[in-house]
Structure 1
Amino acid sequence: MAFEIVVLVSGFGSNLQALIDAAKAHPDQYRIKAVICNRPQAYALERARQANIPYFTICAAAGQTRESYDQQLNQQLETLQPDLIVMAGFMRILSAGFTEKWQHKLINIHPSLLPKYPGLNTHQRALDARDAIHGISIHYVNAEVDGGPVIAQAQLEIKSQDSAETLAQRIHELEHQLLPAVVLAIATKKIHYNLAHHQVTFLGDEIQAPLSLENLYRAKSTD
């Protein structure tokens, strides 16, 4: 049986589309079992519908606590029993109890070179700091906002004419390459999370520095 993932989304879903396309290209490696969204009008749900992927909307009620919402999300995931949960633009902070339960199966994509710029407005913060480079990180999730062991990163040079909007567009191109590559590497057991020691390994060795696209493509070419 193919490795099964659930994708958590909140918005337009371009990273979801990248995962859908990769799953079609590698049907023997992984499949998207379901999409879960917290916003009923998100275009990501239309992407799931067009790809014939089951989808669920779990909206937060007025005044609902984070823990209560996460209990609903947890119940749906318990039913689905995915091998991996991918936060692909899921704009909610998860509770400590939820992340502790799922941390070995839960990854997130974040638009900065962590540990730089956790949280929001990462592109503008990189510009304000006059950084020369900017990028993305994919990491396992823990209770710390945008914390947890970093798996892989990709970066680009910031151009003098860049704005937060142009950086966001260029960053999306990196995301659409790196996220499917990481998911494929997890699905094929090249990347593994050692829950006992909270360590991430790649090809059996502990990751000492974030993996690059080149690392992941090289490993794939040896299959």
Structure 2
Amino acid sequence: MPSTKNIVILISGSGSNMAAIVQAAQQQDWHQAFGASISAVISNRPGAAGLEVAQSLGVATQVLDHRVFETRVAFDAALMQGIDRYQPALVVLAGFMRILTPGFVSHYAGRLINIHPSLLPAFTGLNTHQRAIDAGCAEAGCTVHQVTAELDHGPILAQAAVPVLPDDTADTLAARVLAQEHRLYPQAVRGWLQDQP
């Protein structure tokens, strides 16, 4: 493992959680505090808006279009090569909309984290906000967890809750949860770094 704790962030879209993490790393000087550096942002979508955001924040970017690979395994193998160039201490999934193969997950075991827009173990998978409303939940929220081969089931690192309001729609609830994601995810990454030797 290199002396610098390199962090690679994977995105598929706007990259708002990625931006929150990069900005926290810069403002809190994670390099000085933990020897940590956001080394790269990698997207599986060439047009992902988060790529420009990352570049504007001074972070190297890379695109690996999953559509040019014949299989999920082939894409994941190429993605691992791209990530491993940075010898990462941590790989952060920030709106990366790909289900990862068991081989990929085991390769980064213990150093692969994700944020999910529900209070796990409730509402794994998609459409979490509408499902929380439909179930009559008093609270919804988000969870940072380690990634394991079982989708949205890894050990929980941090959670934040928001109330579900009587007039909530999936969109209004999602917006309140996202604000908590932007606060929680950088905190959880910082916490992970603090726990490293």
Corresponding residue of 1:44: 50
Query: In percent, how many aligned pairs have the same letter?
Result: 43
TM-score (norm 2): 0.93
* Counterpart among 21, 25, 28 of residue 26 in structure 1: 28
Corresponding residue of 1:5: 7
* Counterpart among 105, 111, 132 of residue 117 in structure 2: 111
Instruction: Trace 1:1-223 onto structure 2 (pairs within 5 A).
Output: 2-27=4-29, 28-29=32-33, 30-61=36-67, 64-189=70-195
**Which amino acid letter does the alignment assign opposite residue 82 of structure 1?**
P
TM-score (norm 1): 0.82
CA distance in 1, matches of 2:133, 2:108: 34
Instruction: Please state whether the residue corresponding to 1:22 is helix, strand or coil.
Output: helix
Gap runs ≥5 in structure 1 = 193-223
**Which amino acid letter does the alignment assign opposite residue 139 of structure 1?**
H
- Structure 1 pair 62/82, CA: closer, same or farther in 2 (3 Å)? closer
**Which amino acid letter does the alignment assign opposite residue 107 of structure 1?**
I
Q: Which runs of 4+ in 1 moved over 3 A?
A: none
Instruction: Please state whether the residue corresponding to 1:8 is helix, strand or coil.
Output: strand
CA RMSD of aligned residues (A): 1.4
The size of the alignment, in residue pairs, is 191
CA distance in 1, matches of 2:45, 2:100: 16
Gap runs ≥5 in structure 2 = none
Instruction: Please state whether the residue corresponding to 2:66 is helix, strand or coil.
Output: coil
CA distance in 2, matches of 1:164, 1:50: 31
CA distance in 1, matches of 2:158, 2:172: 23
CA distance in 1, matches of 2:191, 2:41: 20
